[in-house]
Structure 1
């Protein structure tokens, strides 16, 4: 079990865990999940970690088929600008390896933003905390558990 799955179980959140064999040579972790699990790209979200000009780390959850709009994230977070966080900082703060960073059960609670497109979905898929492991849950539950705000942060 991962901290993400343990959190969902502890909070009695309806969820479904899906496994696939991760290919270390895959071009995109999210794209690989879409393909191997037969999911719609709009339902699979990637978890990214960004850094503000004051070095605050933020979590951004966007559809795998989209890119994170760093300016929109900065606007949503109320800061001047954002950049992608260094890999080691993201892994240290979340407790997960890149490619398996889950927005759930992170070591350190970071301000979190979910792309507004998620609100129209009955469920979405995010990493369950390990490459090759996804979890499906309601967007409202994800927001509640992470303290996330919904904002248009994709392009």
Structure 2
């Protein structure tokens, strides 16, 4: 069991785990999950770490979209956002790249979920390791993380 799954259980939210065989040669962890689980990429969300004015924040966007750093900075009330270096993201969260979950991180960081998450009854996201996704309602994710729903990609 991963810390993410334990966090969902502790929070008493309805969730479902989905596993698949991860290919280390996959070009995109998120697109791989969507394809192997037979899901629309817009329903599978990647968990990204960024630094807004030097402070770490979590951003979640559909795997077929790219995070708009200006929108993230604005959502957090900052001036500039940059992607967090991979090694720092792993240290901050306790997870490996491709397995970073928004749940059960070492320290709770501000979380921003792309507004289109509300289009789906449930979202899929990493459950804390490559090859394992957790499905839950967007509202439950926001309740567990204290996150906010905002525009994070330009359509």
Q: Tell me, yes or no, whether TM beats 0.5.
A: yes
Pairwise CA distance, 1:120: 2.0
Q: Distance in 2 between matches of 1:100 and 1:7?
A: 15
Q: Which runs of 4 or more aligned residues in structure 1 lie more than 3 Å from their structure 2 counterparts after TM superposition?
A: none
**What is the RMSD computed on CA atoms of the aligned residues?**
0.7
Alignment map for 1:73-88 (pairs within 5 Å): 73-88=72-87
Q: Which 5+ residue runs of structure 1 have no aligned equivalent?
A: none
What TM-score do the two structures reach when normalised by structure 1?
0.98
Q: Using the alignment, how far apart are the partners of 1:17 and 1:78 within structure 2?
A: 34
Listed as ranges, the matches of 1:1-155 within 5 Å are 1-53=1-53, 55-155=54-154
Q: Following the alignment from structure 1 to structure 2, what is the Cα–Cα distance between the partners of residues 109 and 8?
A: 14
Instruction: Give the secondary-structure state (helix, strand or coil) at the position aligned to 1:129.
Output: strand
How far apart are the structure 2 equivalents of 1:77 and 1:130? 27
Aligned residues: 154
- TM-score, scaled relative to structure 2: 0.98
Shift of residue 68, structure 1, vs aligned partner: 0.1
